[in-house]
Amino acid sequence: MVILSMPAVNEQFSSSIIKNCKSPSSFFPCIPLIDLSKPDTKNQLVKACEEFGFFKVVNHGVPMEFITKLESEAIKFFSSPLIQKEKAGPPDPFGYGSKKIGPNGDVGWVEYILLSTNPDFNYQKFASILGVNPQDIRDAVNDYVSEMKKMACEILEMLAEGLKIHPRNVFSKLLMDEQSDSLFRLNHYPPCPPDQEFNGRNLIGFGEHTDPQIISLLRSNNTSGLQISIVDGHWISVPPDQNSFFINVGDSLQVMTNGRFKSVKHRFLANSVKSRLSMIYFGGPPLSEKIGPLASLLMKGEQDSLYKEFTWFEYKKSAYKSRLADNRLVLFQKL
Ligand code: GA4
């Protein structure tokens, strides 16, 4: 199976710009950097979500032990024989998956575990492969996911303040809700064998897409692979940083802000030498939640609503009928 990337036209050029640039608004832009230990970052956050739908967070306060605990369990799991791992699959959508992504024919050079953050999610299959008690896995996932939820809510509350909308928990309450439909994903991109490379181009690990949820928080080891696209057809490589988190706006937040925040297109390339391991928390609303542009934002900007209202259940159902690279929001745009 050969999964090729589109020519990464500006990859070399733009990654050196990311490291060296000074101006956040130049054409080949810097990735916005947010220091969560600084008291007033709300305006910077709003700017990052408007210009990129993407930013990097440092001084996040997430205990390293929660990260390393989960990472070492993930390494153990992915190092198990395929026949063992397949006992935790196929994904329905939860469980272990290899190469196949979603139900509609997308493939990538990746294996993964997709979990619900729901308290009654069953960890038995994963625990028996790791030879541990399901409660140990549950605890490791819960410790990490609680930190992600906390950071996501903190960011969403600062965003609401930055946008001057009330109440400040207008976004974060959706993640705090007991019924919040949030997910957790572990992705492992094995090194791609040299015979699978094509003319020096990298294999696609996980093809281009936007995330359907409100907000996504990603942490990876120090292997490169993440690229974002701000301008169609141009990809910016994001240098890895295992001590930071990379955050992106999802489709639902783009809709709630009536297009003011951008749900960024991103993809992951396989590395020819090192394996990449990433953990992603996708903060989503309850299934019954109505998603639409916030009335307070429409009034402020005297703008028309760009989207039809939908429930998260409707959007999710439609997302699972789509291919990874599809623009899932067009179906919900007003003409
Ligand atoms: C993209 C974001 C999350 O990883 C995910 C993915 C989901 C899956 O892997 O099952 C989807 C994809 C994602 C969007 C379109 C559909 C559903 C694969 C796919 C082709 C878990 C999610 O919520 O949507």
Compute, in angstroms, the gap from residue 324 CA to the centroid of ligand 1: 7
Q: Which of 164, 180, 290, 268 is nearest to 224 (CA)?
A: 268
How many whole angstroms from 262 Cα to the centroid of ligand 1?
18
Question: What's the one-letter identity of residue 14?
Answer: S
**1, 241, 292, 308 from 52: Cα distances, Å:** 33, 19, 21, 24
128 falls in which pLDDT band (50, 70, 90)?
A: confident
Q: Which of 185, 260, 267, 276 is catalytic?
A: 276
208, containing H or E segment: strand 204-209
pLDDT at 335 over 90: no
The response to whether residue 56 sits with its C-beta less than 6 Å from ligand 1 reads no
Residue 163 CB neighbours (<10 A): 23
Burial of 119 (0-12, 13-18, 19+ CB in 10 A): exposed
Residue 19 has pLDDT above 90, yes or no: no
To the nearest 10°, report the CA torsion of 314, 97, 265, 38.
100
Q: Atom 3, ligand 1: which residue's CA is nearest?
A: 211
Ligand 1 atom index nearest CA of 114: 21
Would the CB of 183 count as within 6 Å of ligand 1? Answer: yes
Centroid of ligand 1 to alpha carbon of 244 (angstroms): 23
Residue nearest to atom 18 of ligand 1 (CA): 102
Closest residue to atom 9 of ligand 1, CA basis: 102
pLDDT tens, position by position, 194-225: 776 655 667 899 999 999 999 999 999 999 99
The full length of the chain comes to 335
Q: Using a 6 Å cutoff on CB, does residue 114 contact ligand 1? A: yes
Secondary structure (3-state) at 152? helix
| pLDDT score for 76 | 93
pLDDT at 22 over 60: no
Residue 313 predicted with pLDDT over 90: yes
Bond before 32 cis per omega within 30 degrees: no
Give the whole-number percent of the chain exceeding pLDDT 70.
Answer: 88
276 belongs to the catalytic site: yes
**What's phi and psi for 101, nearest 5 deg?**
-120, 120
